[in-house]
Amino acid sequence: MSETISGFSFPFRIDSSGRVARTSGPEKLKENIKHILLTGIGERVMRRDYGGGLRQLVHDPNNDALRAIVQHQIGKAIGQWEPGVQIQGVTVTQKDGNLYVEILYLIGRTQQPQSLSVPIGLGGI
Q: Which residues have a Cβ under 8 Å from the Cβ of 7 and sit 6 or more positions away?
A: 22, 23, 24, 28, 32
Task: Give the residue extent of every domain in the chain.
Answer: 6-120
**Whats the size of the chain, residue-wise?**
125
Of the options 3.60.20.30, 3.30.420.40, 3.10.450.40, 3.40.630.30, the CATH number for the domain spanning 6-120: 3.10.450.40
* Residue 18, pLDDT score: 94
DSSP string, 59-115: TS--SHHHHHHHHHHHHHHHHHH-TTEEEEEEEEEEETTEEEEEEEEEETTTTEEEE
Q: What is the pLDDT of residues 39-85, one digit of tens each?
A: 888 898 999 999 988 777 777 777 788 878 888 888 899 999 998 89
- Give percent helix, percent strand, percent coil of the chain, each to the nearest 5: 25, 30, 40
What is the distance between the alpha carbons of residues 104 and 106, in angstroms, rounded to a whole number? 7
Put simply, whether the predicted model's pTM sits higher than 0.75 gets the answer yes
Q: How far apart are CA 93 and CA 125, in angstroms?
A: 15
Q: Is the pLDDT of residue 123 over 70?
A: no
Average pLDDT over the chain, rounded to an integer: 85
